[in-house]
Amino acid sequence: MNVVHGYTLLLVFLLGTSIIFGPPRLAPDAWLVELIAVVPAGALFLLFVGLAAAGNGGNLFDMLDKAWGRTIGRMWTLCYIVYFLYIASRNVRDMIELVMTSILRATPPSVLIFMFVLVIAYAASGGIAATGRLSVLIAALVGFFFFALALLLVFSGSVDTERLLPFLSEGLAKVLVVPLKSSIWFPYGELVVFLVFCSSFGTARTFRRTGWLAMISACLLLTFSDLLQTSVLGMENIVFSIFPLLDAARMISIFNFITRLDALVALLIILGVLVKCAVFVHAATIGASRTFGRHRRFAFSSALLVGAFSILVTHNNAEHFEEGLKYVIYWLHIPAQLVIPAATLMLLRIRYRKGEREHEPRRLHDRLEPNRTRRGRADA
Amino acid sequence: MTALGVWTIASMGLILLAGLDMLVYGESFYKACWHLLFDYTHVPAFVMIGAALLLAGWGDAGAAVLRRLRALRIREERK
Express each pLDDT in A220-233 by its tens digit: 999 988 888 888 88
The helix, strand and coil proportions of chain B, stated in percent and rounded to the nearest 5, come to 90, 0, 10
pLDDT tier, B64 (very low <50, low <70, confident <90, very high otherwise): confident
Question: Domains of chain B: which residue ranges?
Answer: 2-78
At a CB cut-off of 8 Å and minimum separation 6, what does A364 contact?
Answer: none
pLDDT at A6 over 90: yes
DSSP readout, A238-303?
A: HHT-SSHHHHHHTT-EETTTEE--HHHHHHHHHHHHHHHHHHHHHHHHHHHHHHHS-STHHHHHHH
How buried is A104 (Cβ within 10 angstroms: 0-12 exposed, 13-18 middle, 19+ buried)?
Answer: middle
Q: Reduced to 3 states, what is the DSSP secondary structure of residue A378? A: strand
How buried is A321 (Cβ within 10 angstroms: 0-12 exposed, 13-18 middle, 19+ buried)?
Answer: middle
B56 in contact with A at a CB cutoff of 8 Å? yes
A85 in contact with B at a CB cutoff of 8 Å? yes
Cβ atoms A68, A341 nearer than 8 A: no
Region A304-310: mean pLDDT is 95
**In this complex, do B44 and A85 lie within 8 Å of one another by their Cβ atoms?**
no
Separation of alpha carbons A86 and A280, rounded Å:
9
**Angle, nearest 10°, between helix axes A109-125 and A262-292?**
60
Cβ atoms A277, A88 nearer than 8 A: yes
Q: Reduced to 3 states, what is the DSSP secondary structure of residue A129? A: helix
Note the CATH number of domain A3-368: 1.20.1740.10
How buried is A209 (Cβ within 10 angstroms: 0-12 exposed, 13-18 middle, 19+ buried)?
Answer: middle
**In this complex, do B10 and A311 lie within 8 Å of one another by their Cβ atoms?**
no
Cβ atoms A274, A137 nearer than 8 A: no
Closest chain A residue to B8, measured at CA: A78
B59 in contact with A at a CB cutoff of 8 Å? yes
Percent of chain A with pLDDT over 90: 41
**Degrees (nearest 5) of the Cα angle A183, A309, A218?**
25
pLDDT tier, A372 (very low <50, low <70, confident <90, very high otherwise): very low
Q: What Rg, from alpha-carbon coordinates, does chain B have? A: 20
Q: Write down the ipTM of this complex.
A: 0.87
C-alpha distance from B76 to closest chain A C-alpha (Å): 28
Looking at every residue in chain A, the average pLDDT score rounds to: 85
Kindly report, residue by residue over B1-32, the tens digit of the pLDDT: 688 899 999 999 999 999 999 988 888 999 99
Kindly report, residue by residue over A148-176, the tens digit of the pLDDT: 888 888 888 888 888 877 777 777 777 77
Separation of alpha carbons B11 and B19, rounded Å:
12
Region A61-79: mean pLDDT is 93
A356 membership: H or E segment, kind and range: none
Separation of alpha carbons A64 and A57, rounded Å:
13
Q: Read off φ and ψ for residue A378, nearest 5 degrees.
A: -75, 140
pLDDT at A379 over 50: no
pLDDT at A39 over 70: yes
Closest chain B residue to A301, measured at CA: B52
pLDDT tier, A89 (very low <50, low <70, confident <90, very high otherwise): very high
Closest chain A residue to B26, measured at CA: A327
pLDDT tier, A276 (very low <50, low <70, confident <90, very high otherwise): very high
The more confidently predicted of residues A191 and A101 is: A191
A263 in contact with B at a CB cutoff of 8 Å? no
